Amino acid sequence: MDNPSLRELQQPLLAGVGCGPPLQKPGEPQLGPPFRETAFAESLRGWQFLPPPVPSVSAGLGELGPPDLEHPQRQEQQHFPSLDDKPQFPGASAEFIDKLEFIQPNVISGIPVYRVMDRQGQIINPSEDPHLPQEKVLKFYKSMTLLNTMDRILYESQRQGRISFYMTNYGEEGTHVGSAAALDNTDLVFGQYREAGVLMYRDYPLELFMAQCYGNVSDPGKGRQMPVHYGCKDRHFVTISSPLATQIPQAVGAAYAAKRANANRVVICYFGEGAASEGDAHAGFNFAATLECPIIFFCRNNGYAISTPTSEQYRGDGIAARGPGYGIMSIRVDGNDVFAVYNATKEARRRAVAENQPFLIEAMTYRIGHHSTSDDSSAYRSVDEVNYWDKQDHPISRLRHYLQSRGWWDDEQEKAWRKQSRKKVMEAFEQAERKPKPNPNLLFSDVYQEMPTQLRKQQEALARHLQTYGEHYPLDHFEK
């Protein structure tokens, strides 16, 4: 019997993928970046997570029993199949072939996108409906819309010169709230910089959001960070840092510590598809898999890394396709469907804790706003493209359709809530503006338990400088 070709060996792996042709109508914009052939999957149980390759006896590994610790030399006597037929290399599970053939990058047509609701907020497969109570779904909606309102006011605040910088979350609210709701409140969160909705869902006060962006005396970070670099120990949200992807290996270390401590908690690490190109992402994936850490890697694939579209970032099938190569269970979900995000995160959390293994969720969404207030996205994408996602496939409008179809929300409630939420944000905004900045001496504290001589000299030099030239600085805006 001839040895099988490489393509024939790949067929059993492809048979369970269940990928079909794309379901988009001709000319209709695709969900997120232009992946090859990606279909919607309407059953989490039917699709499950894309599993990593599993070694088998037929792959030449033999029947591996427990190690003989008393007689280690006996390990060399273990029986293997014929050396003429099976590879014995320890680094992979494979068969021999006798035909030269390279693996094609598009051998899998496209990982499906799991969804629960269609764009009109209708449940597609009743068995996938999470059947959440009205109170919880309303919290989803109010968290998403409150975040949207806060974004609009702080964005305009920056444009008016009141704060130095801001990043909006327009269009990605469903990824934040759906995932946050599926976690336990003690689960540790490592964010990138566009996950304010996670804190919003955990009831982080508007006053502290504003205090951080204004860097006033109420800011827990004492004015030392750029705006939107939130953090909250009480809500288990690790403080944001600007460099891309540095949080990924840090999150893996925290997950490994939680595993060693039998803490029964999971770590979730958020990042964008652009950050997934950083070396830290690859190192983090590999450490998480080999150390078997209870972590959820949550990738917000919003189509753009600042001005770089996904078509210029990678040639493979997005980020979820990378998971199995590292031995990580992976799934792709519709990030504009808050229930799909909730279901996938909840199941990933359950299994990550129970099985001590990492999971990768790629949430397909779209960044409606500019990357930040330092960016003008009209230079690299069309207004029509942005309008489509804002008007036709927005996570907030989709959830509102769901609520209205259930009789849980109506136009009068919408109008009242919009007015109420804006009032709440404006009150926190005005309060933040009235508060002074932190005392300049706080520049030197909270780093060392005992201040080093060199740092003390710098503090004294600043004091002398302000004593001499204080009239040139707005010291009356700072706490005494």
Strands, E assignment, 211-354: 237-238, 267-272, 295-301, 304-305, 308-309, 329-334
Whole-angstrom distance, CA of residue 341 vs CA of residue 334: 7
Closest CA to 202 of 189, 219, 214: 189
Strands, E assignment, 26-165: 40-41, 113-114
156 is a catalytic site residue: yes
Whole-angstrom distance, CA of residue 432 vs CA of residue 305: 31
Catalytic-labelled residue, pool 242, 374, 378, 405: 242
Whole-angstrom distance, CA of residue 214 vs CA of residue 477: 12
Q: For the packed helices 134-159 and 411-434, what is the interaxial angle rounded to 10 degrees? A: 50
Kindly give, in sequence order, each residue whose CB lies less than 8 Å from that of residue 269, ignoring residues fewer than 6 positions away: 190, 247, 248, 251, 252, 284, 295, 296, 297, 298
Catalytic-labelled residue, pool 176, 229, 370, 371: 371
Letter for the amino acid at 272?
A: G
430 is a catalytic site residue: no
How do strand 304-305 and strand 308-309 relate by DSSP bridges? antiparallel
56 is a catalytic site residue: no
User: 95 with 81: CB under 8 angstroms?
Assistant: no
Closest CA to 127 of 112, 141, 114, 111: 114
Catalytic-labelled residue, pool 43, 372, 397, 445: 372
CA 300 to chain CA centroid, nearest Å:
5
401 is a catalytic site residue: no
User: 181 with 342: CB under 8 angstroms?
Assistant: yes
What phi and psi, each to the nearest 5 degrees, are found at residue 369?
A: -85, 175
What residues are annotated to the active site?
156, 242, 371-372
